[in-house]
Amino acid sequence: MLARRVFSAFDEYQSQENSKHTSRAMRENARRGFFNGSRAAFGYRAVETEALGNRGRRKKKLLIDESEAAVVRAIYDLYLDGHEGRRMGMKQIAKHLNARGVLMRGSIWGIQKVHKVLSAGVYRGEFAYNVIDSKAGKKRPPSEWITIKVDPIIDAETFERVRQRREGRRPSAVAPRRLTSPALLTGILQCGHCGAAMTLATGKSGRYRYYKCSRRINKGNAQCSGRNVPLPLLDELVLWELEQRVFTPLKLREILAEARRALHSRTATDRQKLERLQTELRRKDESLQRLYEGVETGVLTLDETLQRRVQQAKAGRESVLVEMAGLRRRQLLPLERILPSQVEAFSHVICRKLRDRTSAFARDYLHAVVDAVVVNGETATISGSHERLLDAIAGRRSGADQVPRLMRDWRARRDSNSRPLRS
C-alpha cells in the first residue's frame, strides 16, 4: 500500500510537470506566430509551414480561405449597408444567408455565429490565444492573452465601425423599442413638459395611434401635463418641415459651403495632428520592437508584468491607428467634387424616399440626422447639427448606410461614361 501511494503521488507530480511544460511550449509557439491546433476560425485554414516541431511534425499558420472569407465580407457588408434598402441585424443576416443556401461549414447560421464573425478580432488580423482557462472554465484576464498576427479579412476601419454599431445597439445602450418600433419618431421624441421620452400609444382597440409621454404611461396622467399628439399628424408635420427647411437644394448648398469652409480651416490643424500621431505611432512600434527583441535575445523574461506591458502598448497603438483613420477619412471627403446638379437630384430623391412608408428608410434616416424632436404644447422643435447631416449624406455614419449619397461611386453601364441619376 505504501509503494502504491508513493507511485501514485509520483505519477500525479509527473503529470502536472508534463502539463506545465506542454502549456509553456504551446504559449511560446503562439508567441512565434504559429497556430496551436483546434479548429481555425471561419474564413481561415491551418496550413503547414517549413518549421518543424516535436516528433517531426510541421508547425502550422493561419491563412485566409478565400471561399469562406467572401462570406465574412458579405456579413460585414450586410450589417453596415443592409440589403435592398433595409437595415439588417444579426438575426436577419442569419436568415438571409440560410435562405440562399450559404452555410457555415455545413451547418446553418444563427445569431451567435453571426455575432462571433462580427466581433472576433481575428478578422482584423489579431488571433488571440490562451484566452480560456480550461480548468476554471472561464476567460483569463487580457494581460495573459497572446496575440498572433494573421492576414486580415476586414480592414481596421470597417471593423471599428461594426464594433461601434454593435455597442450602439446593445439593450443597455439604447432601448429596444428604438430599433424595433414601427413609429417614425420613437427614440428621438421627447416631452417638453417633463423631459421624458414619448412613445407609441393606441386607443379604441388600436383604431387611433398617438404619441404619449412615457411618464404618463408608467406613472399616471397626473405625473405630467403634456398632451397626447396624433401620430399621423406629427409624423407628417416633421417630414414636411424637414423637406421645406433642410432638404431643399438651397439649404443643402449652404450646408456644403459651410462644410467646405470648415474643412479648409481645419486642414492645416489636421495635418499637424496627423504628423504628431504618425510620430507617436513610430515611437510605439519601436517600443514594441525593443520588447520583442529583448525577449528573443533572453535579456527580458516574459513574465506576467511584461505581458501586461506589451498588451498596454498594443492597446495604445490601436487607439492611435483609430484616431489617424478618422482624420484621414475626413480629409478624403470629396466635397469639392459635388456638383449643383447632384445636389438638386439628391434633394428630390431624399424627399421622395422619406415619403415611402413601406420601408424603414425614413425612420433610420431621421435617427441619423435628428438629435431630438421636443413637443411642448402646440409646438414641436426639431434639433440637429449640420455635421451629423453631412455625415449621413456622405454615408459615414453606420445609422445612415442605406441613404442616397451625393458622391457618385458607381457607373450604371459599368463603363467610363456615367449615366445621369435615375437613368
Instruction: Give pLDDT tens digits for 1-26.
Output: 888 888 888 888 888 887 777 777 77
Residue with cell 510537470: 17
Check residue 391 and give its pLDDT: 62
pLDDT at 237 over 60: yes
Percent of the chain with pLDDT over 70: 79
- pLDDT at position 357 is 63
Residue pLDDT, tens place only, 126-166? 888 877 777 777 888 877 788 888 889 998 888 988 888 88
What is the rounded distance in angstroms from the CA atom of residue 133 to the CA atom of residue 140?
A: 6
Compare 63 and 355 and report the one with higher pLDDT: 63
Does residue 416 carry a pLDDT above 60?
no
For range 371-397, the mean pLDDT: 74
Angle separating helix axes 90-99 and 66-81, nearest 10 degrees: 130
Q: What number of helices (H) and strands (E) belong to the chain?
A: 13, 12
**198 or 404, which is more confident?**
198
Cell 424603414 locates to 360
Residue 114 has what pLDDT? 92
d(CA 32, CA 37): 14
Q: What is the mean pLDDT of the chain?
A: 77
Is the per-residue pLDDT at 233 higher than 80?
Answer: yes
pLDDT of residue 169: 66
State the average pLDDT over residues 232-246.
87
**How far, in Å, CA of 238 to CA of 240, rounded?**
5
Does residue 202 or residue 418 have the better pLDDT? Answer: 202
142 burial (CB, 10 Å; 0-12 / 13-18 / 19+) is middle
How crowded is residue 294: how many other Cβ atoms within 10 Å of its Cβ? 14
pLDDT of residue 421: 43
The answer on pLDDT for 75 being more than 90 is yes
Nearest to 80 by CA among 16, 138, 10, 154: 154
Q: How many Å apart are CA 340 and CA 418, to the nearest integer?
A: 17
Q: Please tell me the predicted confidence (pLDDT) of residue 338.
A: 66
* Cβ-based neighbour number of residue 278 at 10 Å: 12
Total Cβ atoms within 10 A of residue 193 = 18
- pTM here is 0.47
pLDDT of residue 18: 76
